[in-house]
Chains A and B, each alone.
Chain A
Amino acid sequence: MYNFSVRYHDGRLSIAHDATLTLMPDHWLIHYRDPSGELTSVRWALPGIVTDENFSNLFIFRYGEFPQQTIECKDGIMPETLKKRYPEKVFFRKRITDIFKLNNTTIVGVALAVLMLMGLGYWFGLPWLAGAVASRFPVSTEVKMGDTMYENMMHAYEIDQRLTAATNDFAKAIDFKTHYPIRITVVKDKEVNAFALPGGRIVVFDGIIRKMKTKEELAALLAHEVSHVHYRHSLRNIFRSLGGYLFLSLLLNDINGIVTVLADNSNMLANLTYSRELETEADTKGMAALAGNGISLKGFVDLFTLLRGEHGDVGSLKLLSTHPLTEDRLRAAEVMVERQKGVRDDRELEGEWEVIQDMSNK
Chain B
Amino acid sequence: MEQHETRQLTFHGEGAKLFGIYIVNILLTLVTFGLYYPWARAALLKYMYEESEFEGSRFTFHGTGKEMFKGFIKAIGIFLVLYGILFGGMATQNATFMMLGLAIFYIGLLLLIPIAIHGALRYRASRSSWRGIHFGYRGDRKELLNTFIIGAIITLVTFGIYGAWLVIELRKYIFKNLRFGNITFSYEGEGGAFFWLNIKGYFLTLLTLGIYSFWWVKDLFAYYVNNIRMYQGETRLAFRSTATAGGYFKLLIVNVLIVVLSLGLATPWAIVRTMQFVFSNIHIDGPLDVDAIVQTEADYTDATGEDLADMIDIGIV
Contacts and interface: CB of A to CB of B under 8 A. Distances in A.
B271 to A, nearest CB: 10
Contact of A100 (B20, B265, B299, B311): B20
Contacts of B298: 66
Contact of A97 (B21, B26, B133, B181): B21
Contact of B27 (A16, A54, A118): A118
Contacts of A99: 20, 24
B291 A15 contact: yes
Given A54-B50, A107-B17, A97 B34 contact: no
Interface stretch (B56-64, B143-151, B165-173, B277-285): B56-64
Given A255-B311, A259-B79, A14 B292 contact: yes
A314 to B, nearest CB: 29
B122 interface: no
B5 interface: no
Interface residues of B, number: 50
20 contacts: A10-B132, A11-B132, A13-B292, A16-B56, A16-B131, A54-B50, A55-B50, A58-B50, A66-B298, A99-B24, A104-B16, A107-B16, A108-B19, A114-B27, A117-B27, A121-B30, A247-B30, A250-B29, A250-B34, A259-B311
B130 interface: yes
Interface string A219-260: 000000000000000000000000000110011110110110
B290 interface: yes
B132 A114 contact: no
Nearest to A251: B26
Contacts of B27: 114, 117-118
Interface in A20-73: 35, 52-56, 58, 60, 66-70, 72
B162 interface: no
B28 interface: yes
Nearest 5 pairs of A and B residues by beta carbon? A9-B132, A14-B293, A104-B16, A107-B20, A15-B291
Contact of B133 (A14, A56, A60, A258): A14
A132 to B, nearest CB: 14
Interface string A305-325: 000000000000000000000
A58 B56 CA distance: 13
Interface of B: 14, 16-17, 19-30, 34, 37, 43, 46-47, 50-51, 56-58, 60, 79, 83, 86, 93, 130-134, 181, 264-265, 290-295, 298-299, 310-313
B28 A96 contact: yes
Nearest to A17: B291
Nearest to A11: B132
Contacts of A100: 17, 20-21, 24, 47
B57 A255 contact: no
A70 B132 contact: yes
Given A67-B133, A97-B21, 5 more contacts: A12-B295, A66-B299, A68-B132, A99-B24, A111-B23
B47 A69 contact: no
B293 A60 contact: no
Contacts of B21: 55, 97, 100
Given A9-B132, A66-B299, A256 B293 contact: no
B46 A55 contact: yes
B285 to A, nearest CB: 19
Contacts of A55: 17, 21, 46-47, 50
Nearest to A68: B132
A99 B130 CA distance: 26
Given A11-B132, A107-B20, A111-B19, A16 B46 contact: no
Contacts of A14: 130-133, 181, 290-294
Interface in A108-125: 108, 110-111, 114-115, 117-118, 121
Nearest to A102: B20
A104 B20 CA distance: 9
Given A16-B131, A250-B26, A255-B37, A110 B313 contact: no
